[in-house]
Amino acid sequence: DIQMTQSPSSVSASVGDRVTITCQASQGISSWLAWYQQKPGKAPKLLIYAASSLQSGVPSRFSGSGSGTDFTLTISSLQPEDFATYYCQQANSFPPTFGPGTKVDIK
Amino acid sequence: QLQLQESGPGLVKPSETLSLTCTVSGGSISSSSYYWGWIRQPPGKGLEWIGSIYYSGSTYYNPSLKSRVTISVDTSKNQFSLKLSSVTAADTAVYYCARVTMVRGVPFDAFDIWGQGTMVTVSS
Tell me the C-alpha distance between B99 and A56, whole Å: 15
Tell me the C-alpha distance between A50 and B66, whole Å: 27
Q: What share of chain A is helix, strand, coil (3-state, %, to 5)?
A: 5, 50, 45
Is B96's Cβ below 8 Å from some Cβ in A?
A: yes
Tens of pLDDT, residue by residue over B42-95, are: 999 999 999 999 988 999 999 999 999 999 999 999 999 999 999 999 999 999
Tell me the C-alpha distance between B108 and B117, whole Å: 19
CB pair distance less than 8 Å for B46 and A87: yes
pLDDT in tens, chain A (107 residues): 999 999 999 999 999 999 999 999 999 999 999 999 999 999 999 999 999 999 999 999 999 999 999 999 999 999 999 999 999 999 999 999 999 999 999 88
- Under 8 Å CB pairs connecting chains A and B tally to 59
Q: Containing H/E element for B100?
A: strand B93-100
